[in-house]
Chains A and B, each alone.
Chain A
Amino acid sequence: MAPRSIWNGAIAFGLVQVPVKVYSATESKTVHFREVHLKDESRIEHRRVCPREDKEVPYDDIVKGFEVKQGEWVELTDDEIAAAAGPRNKLIDVEHFVPAEDVDPDFFERTYFLGAADKGDEAYAVLRAALEKTNRAAIGRWVFHDRERTVAIRVYGKGLALYTLRFADDLVDPADFDLARVSKKPSAREIEMASKLVEGLHVKFKPSEYEDSYRDAVLDVVKAKAEGRNIAPPEPEETDGDDSDLLATLEASLG
């Protein structure tokens, strides 16, 4: 079955428009459980309750509010919130292009695939080829689900992918954390040995070599329970202390 697109529009840069369709690119495979009452295995429902009246409130009697001051709420309708969305012109509006490798991984939030829409094959192929040739990513704005986002468009396989980006203000700068002083920096010998260790473990990244073994372990526990087998708690974990003799430990690691 062909995947269904979740958005239709065009990538706009300069006076050029590339008609595209947007598709989901990722899906969670985490094993899902639903909440049940342990004693009788009955279903748990989440109910909206007004604590003052201690009564369930029907959905129609619920509004959205923003707390401007303790206990003081500004009520907004869905339409009023949607007014913040941004231009609804069905465009992924490219502002400029940047070197694709320069965008730090921390900025990437969610990924979508881009497919060529009707009559868009030619423009799509040209944009993809040009991004590959220049090693650039397009940076622009995209209104999706009533919210404007900053996005990057990059080459992905034989096509293009759209990545929503986090804002700089939303990322923690690692340098904001202070490090304790050390009296002695790592020695040249330590660095050399540690570098050997890094090179020894260096591989080409192949995503398919990393399986989610936890997912299988969860399903195994489910199976054991279904078959009435005993589910044993794990052995307590041993914790290693820190290494006082770094050089000796590095030597031992290299064998």
Chain B
Amino acid sequence: MARSIWKGSISFGLVNVPVALFSGVKDTDVHFHQLHAKDHVPIETRRVCVDEDEEVPYEEIGHGYETDDDELIVLTDAELATAAPRKTRTIEIEAFVDLEDVDPIYFDHPYVLLPDGESEGTQRAYRLLVEVMERSERAALGRFVLRTKEYLTIVRARRERLTLTTMRFHDEVREPPKSPGKRPAKKQLDTTVKLIKAMSEPWDPANYRDEYEKRLKKIIRDKQKGKTVKEPERPEQPSAIEDLMAALERSLEEVKA
């Protein structure tokens, strides 16, 4: 079983549920390592003090903040830790919101939140929270501290468990570019709606596979066998039709055929 990354509790009114946090993603990517070209010895990265030209152990490293007038202010781990809020072990639910009001632009990293401990009290309080969130279809907003940084998070019920997603703050989302003020012509809009409907399917995540990773693994196998690596052939893309209305109508005919 995976190890938890964080333990604490989630509080909701005066109800307090001990929970443990687990990552919601698995890393299935192919990772490369830097090697010394001549003998394939894996390269190590070392932290070196430029003044002394010597490696520095981790405990001797501090956090340097450069002010606007180029002054360097150095904080130790202990000093930086004082910025963390007092309640570093609690996810306090501040509000409940409707999930569809939260644009996915705010979502950062998913986690799974499980009851910590076998006690009946913990298990029942956890289930109660899952149950009411499922029924109300609401998601909870709260804050919590993970490795010194405080995050805004959204907690919701999924598959009879709670999941937690860290969020971006509003000022980390930029202004979108100016969009064309054009009003679409009715006939074009109607045909596009028809085309979208004809090309619609239920969302099924199993339909999408990581083709990039698959190709990369094949390239590694080919290279291992001493074959030359070639860029795979691609099917020809049909060329686009310049006239929008004509393109829409032809596409609709082809989708329906």
Do A and B belong to a common assembly?
Answer: yes
Cβ contact of B184, chosen from A10, A126, A197, cutoff 8 A? A126
User: Could you list 6 further interchain pairs (A-B, Cβ under 8 angstroms) beyond the known A45-B50, A74-B220?
Assistant: A44-B50, A64-B33, A127-B192, A191-B131, A226-B71, A242-B9
How many of chain A's residues touch chain B, expressed as a range? Answer: 35 or more
B132 touches A194 (CB 8 A): yes
In the bound complex, CA of A156 to CA of B141 (Å): 22
In the bound complex, CA of A134 to CA of B184 (Å): 15
Listed by A's residue number, 24 A-B pairs whose Cβ atoms lie within 8 Å are: A10-B240, A14-B250, A14-B255, A21-B177, A37-B52, A42-B50, A45-B50, A49-B45, A51-B42, A61-B38, A63-B35, A65-B42, A66-B220, A102-B202, A122-B188, A125-B182, A126-B188, A167-B208, A171-B26, A217-B83, A225-B73, A235-B86, A239-B89, A243-B15
Q: State how many angstroms separate the Cβ of B204 from the closest Cβ of chain A.
A: 8
Q: State how many angstroms separate the Cβ of A4 from the closest Cβ of chain B.
A: 10
Q: Which 9 A-B pairs have the closest CB atoms?
A: A14-B251, A253-B13, A214-B150, A159-B179, A33-B63, A121-B180, A115-B177, A207-B170, A168-B205
The contact string, 1 if C-beta is below 8 Å from chain B, for chain A 115-142, is: 1100011111111111101101001010
B127 touches A210 (CB 8 A): no
A47 touches B79 (CB 8 A): no
> Which residues between 172 and 210 of chain A lie within 8 Å of chain B, taking CB atoms?
172-175, 177, 179-186, 190-191, 194-195, 197-199, 201-205, 207-208, 210
**What residue in chain A is nearest B24 (Cβ atoms)?**
A172
In the bound complex, CA of A235 to CA of B81 (Å): 12
A24 within 8 A of B: yes
A225 touches B203 (CB 8 A): no
**What residue in chain B is nearest A208 (Cβ atoms)?**
B170
Query: Which A residues touch B70, using CB under 8 A?
Result: none
A116 touches B179 (CB 8 A): yes
B5 within 8 A of A: no
B51 touches A97 (CB 8 A): no
Q: Known: A66-B30, A234-B84. Is A87-B158 also a contact (CB below 8 A)?
A: no
A74 touches B172 (CB 8 A): no
**What residue in chain B is nearest A157 (Cβ atoms)?**
B176
In the bound complex, CA of A185 to CA of B132 (Å): 13
A231 touches B97 (CB 8 A): no
Query: Which B residues touch A106, using CB under 8 A?
Result: 24, 107, 110, 163, 165
In the bound complex, CA of A240 to CA of B151 (Å): 21
Query: Which A residues touch B112, using CB under 8 A?
Result: 172, 174, 177
A212 touches B75 (CB 8 A): no
B174 touches A27 (CB 8 A): yes
> Which residues between 163 and 193 of chain B lie within 8 Å of chain A, taking CB atoms?
163, 165, 168-174, 176-180, 182-185, 188-189, 192-193
Cβ contact of A237, chosen from B38, B87, B163, cutoff 8 A? B87
In the bound complex, CA of A199 to CA of B136 (Å): 8
Q: Known: A28-B172, A99-B203. Is A34-B64 also a contact (CB below 8 A)?
A: yes
Q: Known: A40-B49, A221-B83. Is A133-B193 also a contact (CB below 8 A)?
A: yes
The contact string, 1 if C-beta is below 8 Å from chain A, for chain B 116-133, is: 011111111111110111
Q: State how many angstroms separate the Cβ of B121 from the closest Cβ of chain A.
A: 5
Cβ contact of B35, chosen from A75, A116, A242, cutoff 8 A? A75
Cβ contact of A96, chosen from B107, B117, B182, B200, cutoff 8 A? B200
A51 touches B44 (CB 8 A): yes
Q: Known: A174-B163, A232-B82. Is A37-B49 also a contact (CB below 8 A)?
A: yes
B192 touches A126 (CB 8 A): yes
B13 touches A51 (CB 8 A): no
**What residue in chain A is nearest B35 (Cβ atoms)?**
A65
Query: Which A residues touch B189, using CB under 8 A?
Result: 126, 129-130, 133
Query: Which B residues touch A16, using CB under 8 A?
Result: 195, 240-241, 244, 247-248, 251
